[in-house]
Chains A and B, each alone.
Chain A
Amino acid sequence: MDCRVLSIQSHVVRGYVGNKSATFPLQVLGFEVDSINSVQFSNHTGYEHWKGQVLTADELHVLYEGIRLNKLNHYDYMLTGYTRDVSFLEMVVDIVEELKGTNPSLVYVCDPVMGDNGAMYVPEALLPVYKEKVVPVADIITPNQFEAELLTGRKISTEKDAVEAMDLLHEMGPDTVVITSSDLLSSLGDQYLVALGSQITVKADGTKEKQRIRMDIPRVDAVFVGTGDLFAAMLLAWTHHHPNNLKAACEKTVSVMQHVIKRTITYAKEVAGPDCRPSPAQLELRMVQSKGDIEDPAITVEAVLL
């Protein structure tokens, strides 16, 4: 495979979020990953302490210039996630647009990270940038329910609402939308959360069709950090291998997540001890230990075609 990804995300010295979460799994699957670190922090911000430095929009531009001057600005994929700065995000958009100029087939996988559970955890000024500039150039997006509602201005209370929201998101740009988690009730009970996906594909005769799926995913009673970044990276990988089959791509992606999370929670509880809540350090994803599952995930969750 000779597939090159440009990933612009955070770097943490210790642990697995941002580029730390995305790079190893993609490399293990054979992707060439070029990574621009938007920040360098000691660890993610869920620990008691964190320290480090951020990259400015200008510095991002300088790094891209180096790549461009060497005529190496050719990528098959671009991948972005958590960003806190408007000018940085706008520079990302400029880079995507230029890269799409050098390779019109480039696929931009974007996790439009803005918030969760009804509240934004990035500056509000990022919403219009995502809505008007980022999502329109994205090909695959992985919002959670809150982010899907924010971007479309539509509340999601039923599966029908979710499908309409995904249709609105398609109209904004991306042909592939995965709502990674929602409050919708699962038919399997409250130990499950519902994720949904929608993909526009072009058939052999040139007509377009939509594949819509729903997945009921077992909940885990812990707060993980970096799982969204891993999800977006693995969705990139598995839609690459199954470009017209969102069902297959999502089954692989969600299954990888399950394996990594299960291994992580088992380990965390073991090191924390009985009746002790695991710490953020103990809950870091067991990424290198999950290499086998990343390479070849056994399918543990099936997607239902809507």
Chain B
Amino acid sequence: MLHVLQFGAWLLKLPSRIPVWKQQQTEPAACPRAAGSRCSSHAACADSTDNFVRETEMECRVLSIQSHVVRGYVGNKSASFPLQVMGFEVDSINSVQFSNHTGYAHWKGQVLTADELHVLYEGIKLNNVNHYDYVLTGYTRDTSFLEMVVDIVQELKRANPNLVYVCDPVLGDHGSMYVPQNLYPVYKDKVVPVADIITPNQFEAELLTGKNISTEKDAVEVMDLLHNMGPDTVVITSSDLPPRLGDRFLVSLGSQRIVMPDGTSTTQRIRIEVPKVDAVFVGTGDLFAAMLLAWTHHYPTDLKTACEKTFSVMHHVIQRTISYAHEMAGPGRRPSPAQLELRMVQSKADIEDPAIVMEATVL
């Protein structure tokens, strides 16, 4: 007769891959950053060599309000898995449910109205669980929906004044808007003022500030204007600025304003040049915003490192995706939208512990 093992007896214990940020453990009480941390039991600490250490279990809850697609990786599909893999609790409100993203030949599905969004939030509120450390939003097409999002953010900030709202102000790209024009004043007047971290591309940064970007100096001024509108952290995710590394790269910039206890502020500005890839990806902006949330959480006053990690993750996922897509499509053929879906689950290890493959320069 075979024995039944007692509950709790561990027969096999194989070591799991331990990410860089778990390799050192320190007493949370000794951590100087703990006082400024955003999450209830968060303890992130950097020693002098900038290896940060943290507790074994994070307790950080994100409310993400984005699209859901049955197949593929955009919106909440793009943001949830990577954040969960990194230990974040992700509550997700699906603003739409579509079969797939709208770059395919066909797409079908249903959208959530502003009222239905409110109803879902009410359920959370009635149960007294409307406490979040982060809110994350992206592509939206409806002004009343966006206004409801703002109401929710404001209420959540009252419930938790330390809440960080990460907002991708999706309006358009390459000189034209691809959402209804009437979203623009809502972003400008209502959304950005309550955002803490925003990830506009160059076009969106220009739209929001009314200022054109032709030089790095322009970009810095635009980011300062965006800071004045609300967010302390701004990343211009892509631009037309001439890269120093050549035309196979694109230039991204970031700016983080840190307010000291005495009321003075310092601003860290960075520039990072990112390899271009000859393909149209969908969902990369959503992944970027999610990973910037994660890495600014671990490096709250070090935008340089947060961006290096974030852009590196993007690079690994995109490389894996383009290799697979070319393999599937065959030589000399353009991969289809289906073949170009991000290789998200296959990139788990890179998401957990991205090798840094690009360096940001501090301006």
Contacts and interface: CB of A to CB of B under 8 A. Distances in A.
Interface string B105-139: 11111101000100111111011010000000000
Interface stretch (A58-66, A99-107, A164-172): A58-66
Contacts of A35: 68, 70
A288 B81 CA distance: 10
A63 B16 CA distance: 38
Nearest to B12: A298
Nearest to B57: A289
B12 A299 contact: yes
B178 interface: no
Interface residues of B, number: 58
A110 B100 CA distance: 24
B87 to A, nearest CB: 6
Contacts of B338: 70, 72
Contact of A28 (B85, B89, B126): B85
A51 B2 contact: no
B110 A59 contact: yes
Contacts of B116: 53
Interface of A: 11, 13-14, 23-24, 27-28, 30-37, 40-43, 47-53, 55, 59, 62-67, 69-70, 72, 188, 215-216, 218, 258, 262, 281, 287-289, 291-292, 295-296, 298-302, 304-305
A267 B239 CA distance: 46
Q: List 8 tightest A-B contacts by C-beta distance, closest first.
A: A66-B99, A42-B123, A66-B108, A51-B123, A69-B106, A49-B126, A218-B7, A292-B16
Contact of B94 (A37, A51, A66): A37
B91 A13 contact: yes
B90 to A, nearest CB: 8
B83 to A, nearest CB: 9
Of the listed residues B3, B112, B120, B346, the one surrounded by the most CB atoms of chain A closer than 10 A to its CB is B120
Contact of B84 (A24, A37, A300): A24
B5 A302 contact: yes
B30 interface: no
Contacts of A301: 4-5, 7
B108 A298 contact: no
A27 B98 CA distance: 20
Contacts of A27: 81, 344-345, 348
B249 interface: no
Q: Is the interface of A mostly helix, strand, loop or mixed?
A: mixed
A295 B57 CA distance: 17
B173 to A, nearest CB: 24
Contacts of B14: 296, 298
A40 B68 CA distance: 11
A70 B105 contact: yes
Contact of B119 (A23, A28, A52): A52
25 contacts: A13-B93, A28-B345, A36-B70, A36-B97, A37-B68, A40-B112, A42-B123, A43-B123, A49-B123, A51-B122, A53-B119, A62-B110, A66-B98, A67-B100, A258-B7, A262-B8, A288-B90, A289-B57, A291-B85, A295-B16, A298-B12, A299-B5, A300-B7, A302-B3, A302-B5
Contacts of B89: 288
A100 B116 CA distance: 35
Contact of A216 (B4, B106, B126): B4
B158 interface: no
A48 B126 contact: yes
Given A36-B70, A291-B85, A13 B123 contact: yes
B21 interface: no
Contacts of A50: 123
Given A48-B127, A292-B16, A301-B5, A70 B119 contact: no
Given A30-B346, A302-B2, A70 B106 contact: yes
Contacts of B105: 69-70
A42 B120 contact: yes
B35 interface: no
Given A40-B112, A288-B85, 14 more contacts: A13-B123, A36-B97, A41-B120, A42-B121, A51-B119, A53-B112, A53-B120, A67-B71, A69-B108, A72-B71, A262-B8, A281-B129, A292-B16, A295-B16
Contacts of B3: 302
Contacts of A14: 91, 124, 129
Given A13-B91, A65-B108, A298 B345 contact: no
A32 B256 CA distance: 37
Of the listed residues A24, A70, A302, the one surrounded by the most CB atoms of chain B closer than 10 A to its CB is A70
Contact of B4 (A43, A291, A292, A304): A304
A192 to B, nearest CB: 8
